[in-house]
Amino acid sequence: MSEKLIIFDTTLRDGEQSPGASMTKDEKVRIAKSLEKMRVDVIEAGFAIASQGDFEAVQAVAKAVKDSTVCSLARALDKDIDRAGESIKGANSARIHTFIATSDIHMKMKLRMTPDEVVTQAIRSVKRATKFTDNIEFSPEDAGRSDIDFLCRIIESAINAGATTINIPDTVGYNIPHQFGETMRELIERIPNSDKAIFSAHCHNDLGLAVSNSLSAVLNGARQIECTINGLGERAGNTSLEEVVMAVRTRQDVFGLDTNIDATGILAASRLVSSITGFVVQPNKAIVGANAFAHEAGIHQDGVLKHRETYEIMRAEDVGWNQNSLVLGKHSGRNAFKARLTELGIDFDSDEALNDAFARFKTLADKKHDIFDEDLQALVSDAQTESSETIHLSFTQSIC
C-alpha cells in the first residue's frame, strides 16, 4: 500500500475568487456533491464571514456532504473563527482553516502588525478554533515570500496551539519548483514538532508553475495538495486538481504515493464547474481539454491504432472520457482513416476503393481543418453516387 496524498479542493472558495466565477448556494452544493463522489478528502466550502450568502453556502455544503471533510476559511480573528465554526456545525467531519500573513511586506503594509503580534494572533486563533473542532489547518499567508526563520517560529507555535495541518501558500505564485520544494523540506526538518502535523502545499499559477511547485513540495514531504477543478482561482488560478492527481498516479515510480480520488469523475466535475462558472476549458488543457486525448498526426494515429501506449501515457477512460479520439485532418494517415470508417460501419470491397476515398479525403482536408464523421459519410456517399452513375452511364452507352 502506498502512502496517501490528501486532496484538498478549494474550487468553492479560492476558485470562486476568480473574477466572474461566483456561484449560488445550490450550484456550490452540486459541485460539492460531485467532488464527494470523486472522493475528494477535504472540500473547502467557503469563507463564512465574507457574506451571509457564503455562510449559508458553507452550511448547505456541510449538511449535504457526508463522506468528505468540509472546511470553512477564517482569518485569524475571533469573529471569523466563530463564524466559520458556526457554519460547519452540521458536518459529519469538519475543519477550520485559519490564516494570517507572515511575509514582511504583508505584515508591514497590509496588517500593520509586528511579527510578535502576528504570532500571538495565530496562536489565539488556532486555540479558539479548537472550541469547534480538533481538525484545524493553519496557513502563514504569503509563505512563499516569508522569512524561513519566522515561518519556523510561527508554525511551531501553531502546532503547539492545536493545528493539525500546516499549509504553505505561495499566495502570489512567485516560487520556482526547486525552491518551493526546498522550503517545504527545510520547514519539516527544522520545526521540532513538525511530525504532529500534515504539511500541505497551496500554489498559485501566476508564473504557470502551480502544479510543478505543488509536486515539488510533495517530493519534499508535503502530504496534502490544495487545488481546484480546471485550475480555477484568484488571478491566474490555483493548482489544477486533475493535473496533480493524474501526475501522481501516472508517475507512481517517482512519487510512490496515491490519492483516494476516483479519477473517472474528473471530466464530469470539470464540465460541471465550467458550465456553472461559464469559464471555458481551453482545448489543449491537460486531462480535461477537448484535445487532451485526441491525435491528429498520421504517425501518432498509426502508432495509437497499433498499440495505444506508443503515444498515450494515460487512458482517456480513466479520467471519464469515452475513449481517445483520432481527429481526422490533413496529417492523418490511411490507417486512421480506414479505422474511423470501420467504426462508422463503412467498409470497402477493395484497396482501390479505399485509396480512392482516401485521396478524396486528403483533398477535402486541405480545405477544411477538422474532418467530422458527417464529412466522412458525405464523402463516401458522394463516391458511391458517382460510381453508380458511372455504371449507369456505361450501361446506357452499351444500349446505344
Q: Which stretch binds Zn ion (CB under 5 A): 10-18, 185-193, 327-335, 374-382?
A: 10-18
Q: Per the structure block, which three cell numbers stand in for 53?
A: 450568502
Minimum distance, C-beta of residue 32 to Zn ion, in the bound complex (Å): 18
Is 337 among the residues that bind ligand KIV (CB under 6 A)?
no
- Residue closer to ligand KIV by CB (options 194, 238) is 238
Site string for ligand KIV, 80-99 (x = CB under 6 A): -------------------x
Looking at the Cβ atoms of 84 and 327, the one nearer to Zn ion is 84
Name the grid cell of 254.
517517482
The CB-of-73 to Zn ion minimum distance in angstroms stands at 10
Name which of 199 and 255 has its Cβ closer to ligand KIV: 199
Within 10 angstroms of residue 350's Cβ, the number of other Cβ atoms is 8
Residue 212 found at the interface with ligand KIV (CB under 6 A): no
- Residue 358 in the binding site for ligand KIV (CB under 6 A): no
Asked if 295 interacts with ligand KIV (CB under 6 A), we say no
Is residue 141 at the binding interface for Zn ion, with CB under 5 A as the rule?
no
Q: Is 9 in the site for Zn ion (CB under 5 A)?
A: no
Quickly tell me which residue has 497499433 as its cell: 306
With contacts defined by CB under 6 A, how many residues of the chain interact with ligand KIV? 9
Which residues have CB under 8 Å from 199's CB, separation 6+? 165, 166, 167, 168, 184, 187, 188, 217, 221, 222, 223, 224
- Min. distance of Cβ 246 from ligand KIV in angstroms? 23
Q: Alpha-carbon distance 193 to 169, whole Å?
A: 20
Part of the chain binding Zn ion (CB under 5 A), chosen from 7-15, 70-78, 313-321, 352-360: 7-15
Work out which of 202, 249, 295, 340 binds ligand KIV, going by CB under 6 A: 202
Mind giving me the DSSP string for 1-27? -PEE-EEEE-TTTTGGGSTT----HHH
Q: Which of 41, 141, 242, 302 binds ligand KIV (CB under 6 A)?
A: 141
CA–chain centroid gap for 276, Å, is 16
* Cβ proximity to Zn ion, 14 vs 80, nearer residue: 14
Let me know: does 140 contact 99? Beta carbons within 8 Å: yes
Tell me which of ligand KIV, Zn ion, none is bound by residue 99, counting a contact when its beta carbon lies within the kind-specific cut-off of 5 to 8 angstroms: ligand KIV
Length of the chain: 400
Nearest to 168 by CA among 216, 203, 131: 203
How far is C-alpha 277 from the chain's CA centre? 15
d(CA 354, CA 240): 44
List % helix, strand, coil for the chain (3-state, nearest 5).
55, 15, 30
Binding mask 155-194 for ligand KIV (x = CB under 6 A): ------------x-x-x-----------------------
**Of ligand KIV, Zn ion, none, which one does residue 141 interact with (CB within 5 to 8 Å by kind)?**
ligand KIV
Whether residue 217 contacts residue 180, with contact meaning beta carbons closer than 8 Å, is answered with yes
Would you count residue 139 as binding ligand KIV (CB under 6 A)? yes
User: Is residue 14 at the binding interface for ligand KIV, with CB under 6 A as the rule?
Assistant: yes
Q: Residue 183 phi/psi, 5° resolution?
A: -60, -45
List the Cα angle 288/290/294 in 5-degree steps.
Answer: 105
Q: Which among 353, 400, 360 has a CA at the least distance from the CA of 379?
A: 360
How far is 13 from 88, CA to CA, in rounded Å? Answer: 14
- Out of Zn ion, ligand KIV, none, what residue 300 binds, judged by CB under 5 to 8 A for its kind, is none
Contact pick of 14, 170, 243, 296 for Zn ion (by CB under 5 A): 14
Which does residue 165 touch among ligand KIV, Zn ion, none (CB within 5 to 8 A, set by kind)?
none
166 SS3 class: strand
**Interactions with ligand KIV, residue window 368-397 (CB under 6 A):** none
Q: Which is nearer to ligand KIV, 171 or 214 (CB)?
A: 171
- Which residues lie near Zn ion (CB under 5 A)? 14
- Which residues lie near ligand KIV (CB under 6 A)? 14, 99, 139, 141, 167, 169, 171, 202, 204
